[in-house]
Amino acid sequence: AAAAAAAAMLSLDFLDDVRRMNKRQLYYQVLNFGMIVSSALMIWKGLMVVTGSESPIVVVLSGSMEPAFHRGDLLFLTNRIEDPIRVGEIVVFRIEGREIPIVHRVLKIHEKQNGDIKFLTKGDNNAVDDRGLYKQGQHWLEKKDVVGRARGFVPYIGIVTILMNDYPKFKYAVLFLLGLFVLVHRE
């Protein structure tokens, strides 16, 4: 009973705090929050422009590029048109109609005089090339399928994204706590 009473007291204190914040402070907090979100978005868009890629940072989702990359590794991509696609490069591409990007290595390229290029990919850890993964009837990938080329990477950090995807409760918990923290934080 004492524990329950203590808990009730604590939650009342908490509510008091919130009530004490007058309307102006609340609006200020909301604006602050808005600024943080906008800055983050601007940085992301800036990265998209600088790298030329629609998704400059991706998380490795499968083990098909082991032992180089593992699930949860973070990759930094560029997709500049001036950089031609060459064998040996690690490309992140999307198959038409599918959302999930794939990270594999370029195995063959055939490029025409005018720059049109068609290429084949394969995961380092796979026994066969990716033809089986492509769309029905599709034998090659083209520039338009490419999200970017992997230029750098950091291990492990992307695990958080995978956790949030696989365990939605975890994602909601994180978002809820963040929201709470921002609204209640006095600065």
Partner 1 sequence: LRKNVEDFTGPRERSDLGFVTFDITADILNEKNGLQTFRNESTSIIFDWNVKQLFLYLSAEYSTKNNALNQVVLWDKIMLRGDNPRLSLKDMKSKYFFFDDGNGLKGNRNITLTLSWNVVPNAGILPLVTGSGHVSVPFPDTYETTKSY
Residues taking part in catalysis: 64, 104, 130
Q: Quote the tokens at residue 11.
A: 């939650």
Pick the closest to residue 80 from 45, 106, 46, 52 (CA basis).
Answer: 52
Write down the least CB distance from residue 89 to partner 1, Å. 7
Is 107 a binding residue for partner 1 by CB under 8 A? The answer is: yes
* Residues with Cβ within 8 Å of residue 152, at least 6 apart in sequence: 75, 76
The long-range contacts involving 116-123, CB below 8 angstroms and separated by at least 24 positions, are: 116/142, 117/84, 117/85, 117/142, 117/143, 118/142, 119/85, 121/91, 121/93, 123/62, 123/64, 123/65
Write down the least CB distance from residue 114 to partner 1, Å. 8
Q: Quote the tokens at residue 9.
A: 């007291």
Q: Quote the tokens at residue 18.
A: 């919130």
Give the residue with the Cβ less far from partner 1, 118 or 143.
Answer: 118
Is 67 a binding residue for partner 1 by CB under 8 A? The answer is: yes
Is 82 a binding residue for partner 1 by CB under 8 A? The answer is: no
Please select the residue that binds partner 1; options are 21, 48, 68, 159, rule is CB under 8 A: 68
What part of residues 9-48 is at the interface with partner 1 (CB under 8 A)?
none
Give the residue with the Cβ less far from partner 1, 22 or 113.
Answer: 113
Please select the residue that binds partner 1; options are 71, 118, 143, 171, rule is CB under 8 A: 118
Which residue blocks in 110-167 are alpha helix, DSSP H?
159-166
Binding site for partner 1 (CB under 8 A): 67-68, 86-90, 105, 107-113, 118, 124, 129, 150-155
